[in-house]
Amino acid sequence: MFEVRATDLAGRLGRLEVGGRSMQTPAYLPVVHPIRQQVPVSILKEMGFEAIMTNSYITMKHFPQGVDIHKQVGFDGIIMTDSGGYQVLEYGDVDASPVQVAEFQIKIGTDIAVILDRPTGYPSSRTHANETVQDTLSASRKCIEQIAHKPPLWAGPIQGGTYSDLVRFSARRMSEMDFDVFAIGSPVELMNGYRFREVVRLVTEAKSALPVEKPVHLFGAGHPFMIPLAVALGCDLFDSASYILFAKQGKYMTPSAIRDIHELEELPCPCPVCSSTSTTDLRQMTQVELTAKLAVHNLHIMKSELASTREALREGRLWGYMVQRMKSHPYLAAALKFEKNTLKLFDSGLRWGKDKATFFFDETDLMNPEVRRHIRKVDINLSARHGTLSVLLAGREFDVVFVHSARIISKAEERNEDVVFFHPFLSIVPVTAVSLHPLAQNVCIEEPSREVLLSSANRLADFIKKNGYKKVMIRPGKGRRRQGAELKALLEKAGVRPSLSRSGW
Ligand SMILES: [Zn+2]
C-alpha cells in the first residue's frame, strides 16, 4: 500500500507498506551483494535504512534451490530484488527466463520483485531501444499471465532510454498491467556521463504516462546532488551501489560533488566516520580499510540528502532546494532549462497553502511553478474596472504591504482607479490578493537581474495594452524612485507611456 502524505512539485512524501513492513518515501535503497557484503548489513540497519536492494539473479546462481533472502542478507526490513537486468546489460544475456527469475524471487520471499527486463542502455540505436521495450513488455506479459501467486509487490520496468516516444509507449503499455511499482530503467550511464537533461526528459516522459497513485522507482540513482531533482520529478524510490563503487575508486561524496579523497586536506562532513578520522589517517589505510570507511561515509551522505530533500518537500520548498543543488555542477545546472512538459509535471503536485516564505534569486525562479501559477491566475481573473491604473512598487518589504491593502483599496475607489503592485518576479499583484501565498510570504533579491525585470515588465505592459488603460501612473513611494524610473523605461520600450508620480500612494 502506498500512501501519499504531502506533495510538492511532482514529489511525494509517503509511506510504502509491504508484507507487514513499512518504509518512508522518498527512500534510497543501498544495493548490497546477496553473498559478500562489503559493508555489513548490520551497519545499514543501525544507520536506519528501512529498505535495501539486492540481486535475485546472483542469489539464484548461488542457491538454485532457493533461500530465505531476509535471513541470507541478514536484513529484516524491506528487500527489493533486482532481476538480472543489469547482467543482461553487461553480458548481453542471462541463462534464465523472466518467469524463472520471477518465480525464484517469490520463493526467496522478496518484498518487491522486479521483472527480468532488457535495459535499453546508452548509447543505443532506435532499433535496439525499440527491441528492449518490446522484450521487456513481452517478459512482463508472460510473468503476469503465467505466475499464479504474485510477490508482495511487483515492479514493472520502463525502457526506451533517450527516445521519448518509446519511453512514453513503454510506460503506457506497462501501466495497463497489474504492477504495484514502476521502475524507470537505464539512467545509470546517462547519470555517470552527467547527461542530466536526458535524465530529466526520460523521467518526465515516463512519469507523464504512469498512473499517479503508484510509486515510481528510479534505477541506479547514486549521485547525491541529483536526488532533489529526481524527487521533484516524482520518483519515490532509488537504488544504487554508488556508495561502494565510488569508495573503491577512492571517491568521497559531498552533497554537491564527488571528490577524490587524495585531493582533500580536510573532511567536510560531521558523520561518525569523518568526525573520528582525518585525511592523513585515511591515506595510511590499506585499500580495503579505506574502501570500507569511504563506503560508510558515502552512505551517510546519501541518507542525509534524502532526509534534507524530504524535509524540503514537507515544508513546500522543494523548488528552491532543488535549484540550489542543481547549481552545484554546470551540467546539472544545464538541465534547469526545463522543457514545457517537465514544468507541467512540476505543476501536478504543487501545493496551495504553505508556511514558509518563497525565495526569489534569479531568472531560474521565473520557472518556479508558484510564479507560473500566479501569472496564469492573474491572466484569467484580473481585468480593468477603471480607465486609470496605478502601479505601486513594494520592494523588499512585500510582506508588510498587505497590512495596508484595505486602505489602498478604498483610496483607489475614491480616485476611480485600478491599483496593482509590481513585483520583480510575480509581475502584477492585485492588491486584493496580497495576503495569498507566495504574494505576502516571499523574500526577493534586492537588485533583480535585468532579464527578470524585463520579463515581468513586459507582462505588465501586455496587461496594460490588453485592458486599454488610458492613463498609467507608477507610484514608487519613498526611497524607490530609481526602481520606478527603471520600470518606466522598460514599459516605454514595450510601447506603454506611463507617468512617474513624485508622491507615493
Ligand atoms: Zn562523513
- Do 327 and 405 fall into the same domain? no
CA 352 to the chain's CA centroid: 19
Q: What is the pLDDT of residue 400?
A: 62
Q: How far is the CA of 324 from the centre of ligand 1 (A)?
A: 21
- Do 378 and 315 fall into the same domain? no
Q: What is the pLDDT of residue 186?
A: 75
Q: How far is the CA of 245 from the centre of ligand 1 (A)?
A: 16
Last residue of a domain, one of 345, 380, 408: 345
Q: For residue 457, give the amino acid letter.
A: A
Q: What is the pLDDT of residue 401?
A: 67
- Do 128 and 217 fall into the same domain? yes
Q: What is the pLDDT of residue 396?
A: 64
Provide CB contacts within 8 A for 66, sequence distance 6+.
104, 107, 108
- Do 51 and 187 fall into the same domain? yes
Provide CB contacts within 8 A for 175, sequence distance 6+.
156, 182, 209, 210, 211, 214
Angstrom distance (rounded) from CA 13 to CA 215: 11
* Sheet bearing 181-184, strands edge to edge: 27-30, 237-240, 216-218, 181-184, 153-158, 112-114, 78-82, 51-55
CA 324 to the chain's CA centroid: 12
Domain assignment of residue 271, yes or no: no
CB 388 within 8 A of CB 473: yes
- Do 402 and 450 fall into the same domain? yes
CB 236 within 8 A of CB 27: yes
Angstrom distance (rounded) from CA 221 to CA 319: 19
Domain assignment of residue 136, yes or no: yes
Domain count across the chain: 2
Last residue of a domain, one of 308, 327, 345: 345
- Do 87 and 215 fall into the same domain? yes
Q: What is the pLDDT of residue 434?
A: 76
Domain assignment of residue 36, yes or no: yes
Q: How far is the CA of 282 from the centre of ligand 1 (A)?
A: 12
CA 28 → CA 31, 104, 355, 371, distances in Å?
A: 9, 24, 27, 31
Domain assignment of residue 293, yes or no: no
Domain assignment of residue 287, yes or no: no
Domain assignment of residue 167, yes or no: yes
Among 311, 303, 234, 297, CA closest to 268: 297
Angstrom distance (rounded) from CA 33 to CA 242: 13
Q: How far is the CA of 318 from the centre of ligand 1 (A)?
A: 24
Query: Per the residue annotation, which of 82, 111, 236, 239 is the catalytic one?
Result: 82
Domain assignment of residue 277, yes or no: no
**Nine-digit cell at 311?**
524535509
Domain assignment of residue 272, yes or no: no
Q: How far is the CA of 268 from the centre of ligand 1 (A)?
A: 7
Q: For residue 157, give the amino acid letter.
A: P
**Nine-digit cell at 357?**
516564505
Q: 290: left (phi > 0), else alpha (psi -120 to 50), else beta?
A: alpha
- Do 313 and 437 fall into the same domain? no
CA angle 276, 281, 282 (to 5 degrees): 95
Angstrom distance (rounded) from CA 240 to CA 119: 16
CA 275 to the chain's CA centroid: 30
- Do 419 and 309 fall into the same domain? no
- Do 42 and 145 fall into the same domain? yes
Provide CB contacts within 8 A for 480, sequence distance 6+.
393, 395
**CATH of residue 462:** 3.40.50
Q: How far is the CA of 80 from the centre of ligand 1 (A)?
A: 26
Q: How far is the CA of 224 from the centre of ligand 1 (A)?
A: 13
- Do 218 and 361 fall into the same domain? no
CB atoms < 10 A from the CB of 213, how many? 7
CB 105 within 8 A of CB 84: no
Active site residue 82: yes
- Do 329 and 429 fall into the same domain? no
Burial (CB < 10 A; 0-12, 13-18, 19+), residue 122, is buried
Phi, psi of 427 (to 5 degrees): 65, -110
HSE-CB at 109 with a 13 A cutoff on CA atoms is 15
Angstrom distance (rounded) from CA 161 to CA 170: 10
Cis ω before 123 (30° cut-off from 0): yes
- Do 331 and 414 fall into the same domain? no
DSSP string, 14-65: EEEEETTEEEEESEEEEB--SS--SS-HHHHHHTT--EEEEEHHHHHHH-TT
Domain that holds residue 379: 352-500
Average pLDDT per consecutive 10 residues, the chain (505 residues; last block may be shorter): 96 96 98 94 97 95 96 97 80 85 96 93 94 96 91 95 97 97 90 92 98 96 96 98 97 96 96 97 95 98 98 96 95 95 95 84 96 94 94 72 80 92 93 79 90 98 97 90 95 97 79
